[in-house]
A and B are shown apart, each in its own frame.
Chain A
Amino acid sequence: MISCKEFIPAYSELFRYLEERGGHDEVVRFWEYLSDNFLGNLRELVEEHGLRGCWMYWSHTLNEEAADFTMELDEEAGEFSITMHKCPSKGMLLALEHVEPYHDYCSHCDTLYRRVLEPLGFEYDVDLSECDQARCRLVVRDRAGGREPGTGNRQPGSG
């Protein structure tokens, strides 16, 4: 059995394998597939709770992944952000001495989540400029502006 603690290197090697089979486009095709077929819980949470759904989703995953992060939610301003001080996944890959991380490993976080959030009416920005140090920042903004806190409903007059 591949332990869930060994998944990240398996994921990185999968990207390498796919690129060897069909180039980078093949890797992106897989990320799109995984977004469509595996992120239903994120989609459902955001559909029901709006930006708070992001908070609920990443509260679960980032704590289980023992990430070093600051997460902020301002529903009135319509903004959710994660500042990743040390990504556990990229940190693990960088710490491995005998396996090189897939060269574009961190971009999966762009494709996977953008593909869920943008069709639901949100802007999704991720800054991967420091991902070689296991640091990044993602921001999700409600295109319609703020919402009534905790309801996922748009505030009156917000569009």
Chain B
Amino acid sequence: MPTEVMDRRAADNEYLHKDFHGALSNALIYLEERFGPDAVRDYLRQFARAYYAPLRAELRERGLAAMAERLRQVYADEGADIELELGDDELIVRVAKCPAVSHMRAHGHRVSRMWRETISAVNEAICEDSAYDFDLVDFDELTGRSVQRFHRRGEEGSA
């Protein structure tokens, strides 16, 4: 049989490799086992402060609309439906089923018991030094269903 060749250019495919969720989950499991749960949160905060620096600046300048735009894009990219309620001082996000958790469970990847921190620690870090704060109001470990609330600091309320 002659040599088989596969030749691809970047434009030939869409960039969407959901198995990366499984790699991240394994990383969180490793961090928790080796260094403890605080290391998981420390790492995620450090990543969020660095990588989301442009988003953090936008949040400070434009408010919660910047966060809403990002979330719409992220969940749309992964084929998930979400509900957003955007007000002047509050953004409520309802995710019926987390696409990352769904993918990992469907493909037999281990789901870190600290997966919720990819929402809570990350969003808390994004909100640092802004007028806003973040609460993970509800999170279902099995499906990743969640209710997320961004709100102006000092504002009380319930989702």
Contact = CB atoms under 8 A, between A and B. Distances in A.
Given A2-B24, A37-B26, A17 B16 contact: no
A2 B144 CA distance: 13
Contacts of B99: 1
A99 B51 contact: yes
A73 B30 CA distance: 34
Contact of B50 (A13, A33, A73, A150): A13
Interface in A48-81: 55, 59, 61-77
Interface stretch (A3-11, A117-125, A136-144): A3-11
Interface stretch (B35-43, B61-69, B151-159): B35-43
A65 B15 contact: yes
A4 B78 contact: yes
Contacts of B14: 66
B51 A13 contact: yes
A73 B29 CA distance: 35
Nearest to A148: B1
A47 to B, nearest CB: 17
A21 B122 contact: no
A75 B15 CA distance: 29
Given A30-B27, A63-B13, A66-B12, A4 B54 contact: no
B23 A38 contact: yes
A98 B58 CA distance: 14
Which of the four size classes fits the interface of chain B?
35 or more
Interface string A13-41: 11001000100000000100110011000
Nearest to A34: B26
B51 A71 contact: no
A73 B74 contact: no
Given A1-B118, A65-B15, A66-B13, A7 B21 contact: yes
A1 B74 contact: yes
Given A13-B46, A17-B46, A75-B1, A69 B8 contact: yes
A154 interface: no
Contacts of A13: 43, 46-47, 50-51
A68 B10 contact: yes
B30 A34 contact: yes
A99 to B, nearest CB: 5
Q: Which 7 A-B pairs rank lowest in CB-CB distance, beginning with the nearest?
A: A7-B20, A64-B17, A66-B15, A13-B47, A66-B13, A4-B20, A149-B1
Interface of A: 1-11, 13-14, 17, 21, 30, 33-34, 37-38, 55, 59, 61-77, 86, 88, 98-99, 149-150
Interface of B: 1, 3-24, 26-27, 29-30, 35, 39, 42-43, 46-47, 50-51, 53-54, 74-75, 77-78, 95, 98-100, 109-110, 118-119, 122
8 contacts: A1-B119, A9-B51, A10-B24, A11-B23, A14-B47, A61-B19, A63-B12, A88-B15
